[in-house]
Structure 1
Amino acid sequence: MSESRILRDRQEEAEAAFRRLAASGDDGSTAMLVQTKAVATYPTSASAFFACSPLRVDGPEVEGSSASFSADASRTVFAFNLGAKTPPVGTKLLVHSCGGRWTFRYDG
């Protein structure tokens, strides 16, 4: 097989993968579990971006068992609150990707 043919095949595979990624938004959005944290000045109004650390969920996958959470303090993501109340520092939230930004709704 020629090198140009290999390159064309790889290009077609990359384009197909890109189309699959673009179409995945039709079924829903990417979500992530996070915990709010204060990086500098914690927001006092609800309609603001909040600094968050991604959370990892662990524990036995057995009905009725409890989960443990561990934060990745080395990473910070900013998520915009679409709700009416300001979440307290340390609040666990489910954030969704929307138009390239993370968003959540906190109403207390």
Structure 2
Amino acid sequence: MDPALGPNQLADEAIDAVHDKGMKFVMSIPIATTSTEHDWFLKSATASIPENRNYSGFYHWTKEGAKHYFTERKGLYYMHEKGNNKAAVLNWQNSNLRSHMFVSYSFFTGVEILC
């Protein structure tokens, strides 16, 4: 979890408190897009740097694209939500992305539903 949100112990305590009341913990997490300020996007945009190479396929990059769905960055276009160039679309066909997501979501122990 982002340290700005508080220590992980607080999240564990919140989940336990919900369970103590006989309820299930549901967490909504966007899995289709990230912000263009997200670390993964920034590394993907600079994948020519050797340490960022594994992030090159995390997003949909192309040499040209329709303006409603693609925005230019450093000579390439990245796919984003229609009309929202700050929400870059993740490339779920990329095995590195899927591995990173699995690790990220396996962190949420005690959460019954991720949506």
Tell me the TM-score range normalised by the shorter chain: under 0.3
Identify, as 1 or 2, the structure richer in strand.
Answer: 1
State the TM-score, normalized to the length of structure 1. Answer: 0.25
Q: By percentage of residues, which structure has more helix?
A: 2
After TM superposition, the score normalised by the length of structure 2 is 0.24
